Structure 1
Amino acid sequence: MSRLLVLSAAALTVAVGLGVRALFDGPVSKYAGDALYTVLLYTLVLLILPRVRPWVAAGTAAGASWLIELAQLGEIPAVLRPLLGSTFNPPDLFWYAVGAAAAWAAHTLWLRRTG
């Protein structure tokens, strides 16, 4: 997968996230944002390791998201709160898995169509 394509997917993920926040309030915006956060992490994994298998990228992205969420059980430094959040919310863990699964599925389908 080309890095330009992955960068485009990352930019699209950010645009969709901003669009969801602009159009929706409440749980739709929050949980879509959680899923898209993990999709963005998935694209970052692909940028670093372009030949990574989809299931490894999904596990890495979900694991990083869960680790960040669990870190919120402690004290996140104020400067990092806009990026990492500050309040642990158990349902977020599910939505991170949804984002990882969606990215895995899209990546797998892409590889099947192009390979």
Structure 2
Amino acid sequence: MSLAVRWTRLLMVASAAGFAGAAYAIRAAMDGPVEQYAGAALSAAIVYTIVIFIKPMISPLAAGGVAIAYCWLIEFAQLTPLPAALSQRDWLARQLLGAQFDLIDVAWYPVGAVPLVAAHWLLRARTRS
């Protein structure tokens, strides 16, 4: 494994921890729509970092597409009773799956991923030149 891949993965772990910390801080400090929208956007950002961690050389656009598609898949799965049932039993399942469908979240996932796609794209272009 190259040094660049190791550093990328370390950066993704730190980024995911930072995004999760921000989400929990917002949840602790606020209540209402800001908390909900920030939570959706930051969860997409976390998924983006996980995609890059798993496949560090993936293109920014592909990573963003995977992250948004995954978030949408989880959100639309909430239209079934399974995520709610799992969320009632387990805190971690609630964090990962949510409990109920919210169409507004579908719009906020790209808000969390698109800025990371842009930053990743710019960083990649800068390091290649």
> TM-score with structure 1 length normalisation?
0.90
Q: What is the identity percentage for the equivalent residue pairs of Structure 1 and Structure 2?
A: 43
Q: Distance in 2 between matches of 1:35 and 1:101?
A: 10
Aligned counterpart, 2:38: 32
Q: Distance in 1 between matches of 2:122 and 2:47?
A: 19
TM-aligned CA deviation for residue 52 of structure 1 = 0.5
- The answer to whether the aligner puts 1:50 opposite 2:63 as a matched pair is no
TM-aligned CA deviation for residue 14 of structure 1 = 1.1
- The answer to whether the aligner puts 1:10 opposite 2:27 as a matched pair is no
TM-aligned CA deviation for residue 6 of structure 1 = 1.4
Using CA pairs under 8 Å that are at least 6 residues apart, name the structure with larger relative contact order, 1 or 2. 1
Aligned counterpart, 2:47: 41
- The answer to whether the aligner puts 1:114 opposite 2:120 as a matched pair is no
TM-aligned CA deviation for residue 12 of structure 1 = 1.1
TM-aligned CA deviation for residue 114 of structure 1 = 3.5
Aligned counterpart, 2:104: 91
**Number of residue pairs matched?**
115
Aligned counterpart, 2:115: 102
TM-aligned CA deviation for residue 22 of structure 1 = 2.0
Question: What is the root-mean-square deviation in Å for CA atoms of aligned residues?
Answer: 1.5
4+ aligned runs moved over 4 Å, structure 1: none
TM-aligned CA deviation for residue 67 of structure 1 = 0.3
* Structure with max Cα Rg: 2
TM-aligned CA deviation for residue 97 of structure 1 = 1.3
Q: Distance in 2 between matches of 1:69 and 1:43?
A: 19
> TM-score with structure 2 length normalisation?
0.81
Q: Distance in 1 between matches of 2:30 and 2:99?
A: 22
